[in-house]
Chains A and B, each alone.
Chain A
Amino acid sequence: QKEVEQNSGPLSVPEGAIASLNCTYSDRVSQSFFWYRQYSGKSPELIMSIYSNGDKEDGRFTAQLNKASQYVSLLIRDSQPSDSATYLCAVNKGRNFNKFYFGSGTKLNVKP
Chain B
Amino acid sequence: DTEVTQTPKHLVMGMTNKKSLKCEQHMGHRAMYWYKQKAKKPPELMFVYSYEKLSINESVPSRFSPECPNSSLLNLHLHALQPEDSALYLCASSQGLPADTQYFGPGTRLTVL
Instruction: Give me the interface of A with B, judged by CB distance under 8 Å.
Output: 31-32, 34, 36, 41-46, 49, 51, 88, 90, 92, 94, 96-100, 102-105
Which chain B residues in 53-68 approach chain A with CB under 8 Å? 55-56
Whether A97 contacts B98 in the complex (CB less than 8 A), given A103-B42, A104-B42, comes out as: yes
Q: Interface size class for chain B?
A: 20 to 34
Quick one: closest A residue to B43, CB to CB?
A102
Interchain CB contact under 8 A, A43 and B107 = yes
Interchain CB contact under 8 A, B42 and A43 = no
Interchain CB contact under 8 A, B99 and A92 = yes
Interchain CB contact under 8 A, A99 and B101 = no
A-B pairs, 7 with minimum CB distance: A32-B99, A102-B42, A97-B98, A43-B104, A31-B99, A43-B107, A98-B48
Cα of A92 to Cα of B101 in the assembled complex, Å: 9
Cα of A43 to Cα of B9 in the assembled complex, Å: 12
Cα of A102 to Cα of B97 in the assembled complex, Å: 19
Residues of chain A within 8 A (CB-CB) of B99 are 31-32, 51, 92, 94, 97
Cα of A105 to Cα of B39 in the assembled complex, Å: 12
Q: Tell which of B42, B43, B100 touches A97, judged by Cβ atoms closer than 8 Å.
A: B100
Instruction: Give me the interface of B with A, judged by CB distance under 8 Å.
Output: 2, 31, 33, 41-43, 45, 48, 50, 55-56, 88, 90, 94, 96-107, 109
Residues of chain A within 8 A (CB-CB) of B88 are 41, 43
Whether A98 contacts B104 in the complex (CB less than 8 A), given A31-B99, A105-B42, comes out as: no
Is chain A's interface secondary structure helix, strand, loop, or mixed overall?
A: loop
12 A-B contacts, Cβ less than 8 Å apart? A34-B101, A43-B104, A44-B43, A44-B90, A94-B98, A96-B56, A97-B97, A98-B33, A98-B55, A98-B94, A100-B45, A102-B42
Quick one: closest B residue to A44, CB to CB?
B104
Cα of A88 to Cα of B104 in the assembled complex, Å: 13
Interchain CB contact under 8 A, B42 and A98 = no
Whether A98 contacts B106 in the complex (CB less than 8 A), given A34-B101, A88-B42, A104-B41, comes out as: no
Residues of chain B within 8 A (CB-CB) of A41 are 88, 109
Interchain CB contact under 8 A, B106 and A42 = yes
